Amino acid sequence: MASQRPKTILIVEDEPEIAQLVKHYLEKDGFHPCIAETGIEALKMVASEHPDLVILDLMLPEMDGLEVCKSIRQKPETALLPILMLTAKNEESDTIVGLELGADDYVTKPFSPRTLVARVKALFRRLDRTNDHKPTSLTYGPLQMDLIRHEVTVKSKEVPLTAKEFGLLEHLLRHPGRVLTRDMLLNAVWGYDYYGTTRTVDVHVRRLKVKIPFLNESIVSVKSLGYKLSDQPIL
């Protein structure tokens, strides 16, 4: 059987030392990395190289990373392209904007190259699971969600949820390990026309944790951003 082609990863980074370091570690793990030093060059290489994932620095010449992310998401042919952002620790507001624009994950500088590669692998694993098929049910530890009957059970015992609690839990279950901002959750569950505050999300997360106690540890609050469901349930 023919071996699977290595996944192409576009590194968008204007600091050559960092770009080469990331490239080296990705190559060691069997990926095929290429480098763009500016935002405009990045968009050209997205079109020409058809990468499987983009590692995107936010601080770039000519066009910053947020604009690059926005441009990628606006085009139908690249709308689902996975994006991992690189941000400085003092760029928290930009991180939030980037996630809201559709970035899949982020890593803060300074970072360990091994940690970055591990996050890339984890992102590919999550995407592979998501793309397998459109499920009619979701499972998370002892929790079963029947999407057709609109029922949730834990250890075969039904847990009554409101429509919004069900929608919020479904969105978390569909994106394990991914940081979801409060605005992203509001848009996904309540809709773009909802005029309430992001505190609504916090209230519903608390309700889920009360009704399904084991989620108390598995739904992690990410400071100033939102929430993340652990890849594996914490029982």
pLDDT at 187: 81
Question: What is the rounded distance in angstroms from the CA atom of residue 181 to the CA atom of residue 179?
Answer: 6
Across the chain, which has 235 residues, the per-10-residue mean pLDDT values are 77 95 96 96 96 94 91 84 83 73 80 89 71 75 90 93 88 91 84 63 91 94 89 83
Domains of the chain are 8-131 (3.40.50.2300), 137-229 (1.10.10.10)
- State if pTM tops 0.75: no
| Strands 226-229 vs 137-140: parallel, antiparallel or unpaired | unpaired
| Rounded distance between C-alpha atoms, residue 63 and residue 58, angstroms | 9
Q: What is the pLDDT of residue 127?
A: 66
Task: Read off the pLDDT of residues 16-75 as tens digits, 9 standing for 90 and up.
Answer: 999 999 999 999 999 999 999 999 999 999 999 999 999 999 999 889 999 999 899 888
Taking alpha carbons only, the member of 225, 219, 221, 133 closest to residue 176 is 219
Task: Give the pLDDT score at 171.
Answer: 92
